[in-house]
Homo-oligomer: A and B are copies of this chain.
């Protein structure tokens, strides 16, 4: 009997499921689409049907289930008012999964889960103080201090994407203005690029990846847009350093692939806004988690770290 943990990542479009061993190997994985499950009870039951034969045929023992989910509350095991999910209100998801699978189940938001994944299986092995940032559709963050994930008193800590960096700045999905993620995210980069273009050149349907490709081929505005994104991110990271003084900040997700084009302005602007005692100490590192399995590894880490 080999012990495995099921890591489940619930997104607005897809749900990823994987079986992860103690070494952080993903032994089996699957993806299902989120909207086919009208209730979380049905999701739990159908995933049980899906996993049972896999567990039996490989002689795996299921040690527990870790779930990463938007607006996930670690303490209550709930998803609360997630704007991108069909399930409304407060969903007691870990209770449902525990009653169906009869194993321990823990849940947190996706960036927090990925931070744990980085600590157990990625580039933060042995680190006790670091910050993990996901740069995708939004900006997510997970903070590790004293070797523990910071959940906060209510289970919702680490919403760095929503600190206000520009009063009266861009409108955010959260209903406020000037949030960090309206600048430092894939859509934020595209918006910056479009703002830099003269109106006659407007290309409304460009993606962040296409902005990168343009930058690589020497496009001036595309390079400026990435530099601007790095500037704002670097200044926000400087603030973060003054709070928890991390050994490293890991960047993950689509935008992190921009490499030095993004990392250099991030580092330059962060260092510029640091108190001298923090300078030239904090490493800005690309996440070592594999892009495709990061969410599953992160979710599984909730159980493996116990």
Contact = CB atoms under 8 A, between A and B. Distances in A.
Interface of A: 71, 80-81, 127-130, 143, 145-146, 148, 150-160, 162-164, 174-176, 235, 238-240, 242-247, 273, 275-278, 281
A278 B152 CA distance: 11
Contacts of A127: 153
Given A128-B153, A150-B146, A243 B244 contact: yes
A245 B153 contact: yes
Nearest to A149: B146
A158 B243 CA distance: 5
Nearest to A278: B156
Contact of A152 (B71, B156, B164, B246): B246
9 contacts: A129-B151, A146-B151, A152-B244, A152-B246, A159-B275, A159-B277, A162-B242, A164-B235, A174-B276
Given A146-B148, A276-B175, A157 B244 contact: yes
A155 B127 CA distance: 14
Nearest to A275: B162
A71 B240 CA distance: 19
A276 B154 CA distance: 13
Given A150-B145, A275-B174, A157 B80 contact: no
Contacts of A244: 143, 150, 152, 157, 243-244
A156 B273 contact: no
Nearest to A128: B153
A127 B153 CA distance: 8
